[in-house]
Amino acid sequence: MRFSHAVREGNRAIINAMIPEISLDDLAPVIALLARIRGGYLRQLLEITEGAGEGLPRAEEIEKLSQLRSTYEEMSTATQALEVALERGYLDIKQ
């Protein structure tokens, strides 16, 4: 219990000092960016599937898909970290 409280207070003190108070409206660009990244990843998958027909995808198509996946996973993880920070009260939220 004490440790959890110390972790919460330590995170709040450091993170809150690094990031100014934000509002839910400030998060709209983050949400939109993640949606665009997810959409690009999914679009690439569908384009590869359509283009391959009965064959296999080309190596460069898979490389592009891999890059898009990496970008999506990294941004998704960062967005989840932001969500956790907000839920745990590490950041002040403007009302």
Model confidence pLDDT, tens digit, residues 32-47: 999 999 999 999 999 9
Identify whether 10 is part of a domain.
Answer: no
Identify whether 94 is part of a domain.
Answer: no
Identify whether 58 is part of a domain.
Answer: yes
**pLDDT averaged over the chain?**
94
Owning domain of residue 60: 25-87
If one counts the domains in the chain, the total is 1
pLDDT over 80 at 1, yes or no:
no
Identify whether 16 is part of a domain.
Answer: no
The whole-number pLDDT of residue 67 equals: 98
- pTM strictly above 0.75: yes
Confidence of residue 55 (pLDDT cuts 50, 70, 90): confident
Identify whether 51 is part of a domain.
Answer: yes
**Dihedral over Cα of 58, 59, 60, 64: its sign:** positive
Please spell the DSSP secondary structure of 20-52, one letter per residue. --B-GGGGHHHHHHHHHHHHHHHHHHHHHHHHH
Identify whether 62 is part of a domain.
Answer: yes
Identify whether 14 is part of a domain.
Answer: no
